[in-house]
Structure 1
């Protein structure tokens, strides 16, 4: 396991787990949001994202915390392991809501100095909370398909925080 993607819905704990895996396994961790978002919430254009991700994935060892649809094909070609965070919606939703409120209240910079705001979090149709609602079933189905199909990299599905902790403990 030297090329790992942690996949799941927004708020499922991808970044936290990916950073832990990188540290635990001594593999470089790359925050995809930091790579693909510029200041002012400007996304890196899709062709540039694909090229950046292609270069990152060319390395022998990496842990990433996402698989955006516009370049997931590149990840699936190179990953040794997919860790799917297939948590119940109530868990990922609660984590996302708690994180967003904390980031707003404490003015925590995220993704290259960007900040969440009350308007962005709760009123904007592009908010992570709305995105979570719209993408949950699709991402869940994708993870389960990868897990069930032999044509994809090995896929581990973790369905609860306790299961996640047991799996990480088993890596020791």
Structure 2
């Protein structure tokens, strides 16, 4: 199913989603800088030391607090809480690069940051077969939930970016069609 492309307004609250290794965090940082918005990387809030997940009862509340700000760019999936972010967002940017590109990106990030707390404090970068499986199965397992969440929020402008080059053009020009 193709995502609906909707006319864009001025971006003030942007949710960035897509498979791991696609370049979401890098894009979110660059877009946030361009827009002058706070950048929120959800991994930093979800993961506790030792790669322990935030308690589910706190996770949605944490996101509600994070997206209560006037302007933001937030990156991360966490499909069970798409609605929390999408309700307050004006734009959702969906990364859709090929699976192989995402896997290469994820492995490259792991090699580059191995042993360092790159994504969250107390969570050293590591090889995770579970994470790589999630990326491999993203289109089958996670994409339908994403599409359903977008459909529940017709106010959203939707931008689909299929490559890092398209993402860079979007940041540079503000137009995904460049």
TM-score tier after normalising by the smaller chain length? 0.7 to 0.9
Alignment correspondent of 1:115: 124
- Residue 34 of structure 1 and its aligned partner are, at CA, apart by 0.4
What is the RMSD computed on CA atoms of the aligned residues?
2.2
Task: Quickly say closer, same or farther: Cα 1:164–1:149, change in 2 above 3 A.
Answer: farther
Matched, 1:100 2:110: yes
- Equivalent pairs counted in the alignment come to 164
* Distance (whole Å) between structure 2 residues aligned to residue 149 and residue 158 of structure 1: 21
Offset from partner CA, 1:87-139 (integer Å, 9 cap, x none): 111111110111112222xx221311311335xx24xxxx3112212323344
- Within the candidate set 156, 166, 171, 1:168 is matched to 171
TM-score (norm. length: structure 2): 0.82
* Distance (whole Å) between structure 1 residues aligned to residue 64 and residue 52 of structure 2: 20
* Distance (whole Å) between structure 2 residues aligned to residue 44 and residue 32 of structure 1: 11
Q: Flag structure 2 segments of 5+ consecutive residues without an equivalent.
A: 1-10
- Within the candidate set 111, 126, 131, 1:128 is matched to 131
Alignment correspondent of 2:83: 73
Alignment of 1:23-62 (within 5 A): 23-62=33-72
* Distance (whole Å) between structure 2 residues aligned to residue 149 and residue 87 of structure 1: 24
- Within the candidate set 131, 139, 158, 1:155 is matched to 158
Q: Which runs of 4+ in 1 moved over 6 A?
A: 145-150
- Residue 152 of structure 1 and its aligned partner are, at CA, apart by 4.9
Larger fraction in helix: 1
- Residue 47 of structure 1 and its aligned partner are, at CA, apart by 1.4
TM-score (norm. length: structure 1): 0.84
- Contact kept? 1:147, 1:154, Cα under 8 Å: no
